[in-house]
Structure 1
């Protein structure tokens, strides 16, 4: 039986969103625009090198410019090399998010005013991000704390943000709505990153030191995140809580949910969380989709992480060309997210993601074969990455939203976010091990094909219609 024809039959085409709902969707899109500026400017490009420089100055205060530092810092009594501090800080922030996000999801599903919860997490994160302007001299401890707080707050806010998608779009609209949010995020990230890189590059003409230019850029990213977050907080409206359906009968182990819901918003959060894990096996297609996503998204994240390293070491490209490629990826990802949203609407999200994984495999193979010093070919590869990057992530979010059990939206998106963060180290581990064994980044890049192949095979086994029925949701026309 065709996946599109499987029952129950979807409802007829909707009359279209009202003007009020369209305004809410535009407000919701803006949060992608808001936080992506922090992700690109601070999280991806500027803060790690800056924190490394501050840590190096603390460990080796008399170090000549360009010399290596052989001293360590003491972090809670543990010796840490200055060059590793930013990586370890990211790891701690990621691990903390993986632990906290399920609790955030359980709380969010019990709160009517989700927009205010979104605003609270965004405010904490944006304040920490803007405060990075105060990290100067040898004050690496402040930088570590602020990065951990900002990263954990970002993850928490995205749990609430993703759960709101189900309030704003029906089953046949989520691919397009999710894609527009991702597209606007890439556009916002591109614009602020381009402005900040121009500021850092032209700092001499403005009478700024490199440190001052970077700190101003970090400040703008925090202010951008916090300021634009007001748009969804003020533009969204509160909705009544949904009633969670019973776990599918063949997997029922008791009604822990009724007990959890009887304890109030905070008192029932831990009980609701325990129920989520206990009954998750009642939604096998949802969990299979989640595991498939973990594999192929890990491959995506590792490609993005390794691209600059591969370009520098293996292809011999200068830093200015790598920055150009980063900006190109951001700009093209804006278009890619919209294109993939249209493809998913026409052919279904499931098929669109599978074809995107084929494209990712081709991208990795092309990278393996790319000759050194060919900047034009590297830009072509960056264009291909940008096209599939935004689209794969946007459509994955909308497909997973179809499989989330009714009434547990934030809890399952918390698992989605936490599991992604909790396993995002595996691709970089494989990449590093292959490099260590072979001494070349080319076979290390080629090894990432396995993540897309495994993710695709698992996704092929997802019966989306069955998963939607188990979750108690309406069937879309195409999956």
Structure 2
């Protein structure tokens, strides 16, 4: 969206921003404060607490230790069907393995893939029910707090499952489901916060008040702030990935000394200990956010709204907005394919990694350490490239997606080759490094691009829809691959579907027109402002929508867009800026350090 602004104009924007007064100077001058300034501005403490929360909620346990535990305990209760009748020969390393499920049998690989799909489906149902409630009152803060506590407690609860738990492997499966569903929900409500942090950043609000900053230039500043917060928070997530991996390596080597074995022969109960460490670390890192977060409550929930059905009604309303926000929904379609590709790839490689490492949690921790380091490098590298060449969020997402697609294409070789194509431990190291450098930025830029396509005041509703699309994709991909694996008895066939799903989004994202999307979002915000006197309850009862559904109205909407742009405050230019503007309150040099 900001690629059209020249380097000269960009430097002028930074200069104007440095010379413009802060909120405190405007208030002390006695000037009238605009409506948007009545919402608490983002503080440096709040921003760092936001980063620190993601440092703890880094996702390592979602893909490593908990899946290790449940797959190991299930396999311990299974048998090798190629070596005789049911139960005759236990499962061995790198052999097929089946387990009884109800009245039938299923391979452990298929069971894990189908479990991943069920996990995503439940997350989609939960997010649909509670997602949009976060836009009202202080629900966003409360919901994030509850799911954080539940998720941390479930991870710590794995201390109760040792090797003997294979006799009742369904119980750890259930606890794992609680953990992973609450973890997925925490991400959605966390992501919905950062657009508000960006819009209320002191520098962004100063630019919004500045009569010398055009609407296009303001869009540049806000977009860079969103990218900065999103990318830095993703980097901090990977810093947490690195820290907890290092701590678990120390614990793993201590366990090796305790049991007098080598580091790669630590008992499987070590995975449960690593899981508890992840839960405790997240809980510790999450506390500051809930202490320093500024309250920016939404409107009260309608009096007669039902907490269990309101989310579904709001979801229906959100889906009906596709005519008013077509570019937003086009991206949601692309994101479905993107997330389907990444989650399916994670599911397939997760199953194969467990087999290639023989459930070695410490070995996987070393792999995670490589991924964490490369993810940190990748996030900062992509941010540097974006700033150096003034590339848009959409372009950066395309670059990340393109490089990500190379890996499943390479892995497809392993379907026919016994020596390469995710066949060796050396390829595990390469995969984790590649994923870190090129795929980790995908999460940051997909969130940022979504935030640029979401109207202000509707963040939780649309990010809930964003999360639902993500979870449906995570259900659809692994479930489809699980069915294919069950039919073909070949887990690697899933790489073909992953490769196709990685290439298609490149075409769909390329079709998104960001300039047209910006106009649509501004028009939507103004229309909603004009309808603010109409209660949400009345909207739900009568299904009232603005008459922009017809294509014939599109030209009129675009023609009138100038009337929907935020009003500037020329009188504020009389306030004298302080002399310490070259370094802002959050520590970034030169005003806009993004």
SS, match of residue 456 in structure 2:
coil
Aligned to 2:67: 48
Aligned to 1:407: 457
Q: Give the CA deviation at 1:464.
A: 1.4
Q: Is the Cα–Cα contact under 8 Å of residues 34 and 188 in structure 1 kept in the other structure?
A: yes
Deviations 1:414-472 (CA, angstroms, capped at 9, x unpaired): 1111111112244443598499779694x754553322321011001111122232223
Q: Give the gaps of 5 or more residues in structure 2.
A: 24-40, 80-86, 200-221, 261-265, 526-564, 567-591
1:33 corresponds, among 55, 72, 97, to 55
Aligned to 1:155: 184
Q: Is the Cα–Cα contact under 8 Å of residues 161 and 269 in structure 2 kept in the other structure?
A: no
1:177 aligns with 2:229: yes
Aligned to 1:228: 285
Aligned to 2:348: 306
Aligned to 1:327: 369
SS, match of residue 424 in structure 1:
helix
Label 1:103 to 1:455 Cα distance change in 2 as closer, same or farther (>3 A). same
1:465 corresponds, among 515, 539, 544, to 515
Aligned to 1:278: 320
TM-score, normalised via structure 1 length: 0.79
Aligned to 1:246: none
- How large is the RMSD of aligned CA atoms in angstroms? 4.1
Aligned to 1:360: 404
- 1:240-251 equivalences in 2 (<5 Å): 240-241=297-298
Aligned to 2:194: 165
- 1:290-439 equivalences in 2 (<5 Å): 290-307=332-349, 324-345=366-387, 346-367=390-411, 372=420, 379-428=429-478, 429=480, 433=484
CA distance in 2, matches of 1:221, 1:148: 16
Count of residues in correspondence between the two structures: 451
CA distance in 2, matches of 1:114, 1:20: 17
Q: Give the CA deviation at 1:283.
A: 1.2
Structure 1 residues 153-162 or 48-57, which shifts more? 48-57
Deviations 1:24-69 (CA, angstroms, capped at 9, x unpaired): 1111112211221xx21x3211222322333455678x98875587
Deviations 1:215-254 (CA, angstroms, capped at 9, x unpaired): 22221122122222112111211114279xxxxxxxxxxx
Q: Give the CA deviation at 1:321.
A: 7.0
SS, match of residue 240 in structure 2:
helix
From the CA coordinates, give the structure whose radius of gyration is larger. 2
CA distance in 2, matches of 1:12, 1:179: 22
CA distance in 2, matches of 1:69, 1:2: 53
Q: Give the CA deviation at 1:86.
A: 4.4
1:216 aligns with 2:273: yes
SS, match of residue 72 in structure 1:
strand
Structure 1 residues 18-27 or 107-116, which shifts more? 18-27
Label 1:126 to 1:324 Cα distance change in 2 as closer, same or farther (>3 A). closer
SS, match of residue 4 in structure 1:
coil
Aligned to 2:144: 118
Label 1:331 to 1:180 Cα distance change in 2 as closer, same or farther (>3 A). same
- 1:126-165 equivalences in 2 (<5 Å): 126-136=152-162, 137=164, 138-165=167-194
CA distance in 1, matches of 2:155, 2:13: 46
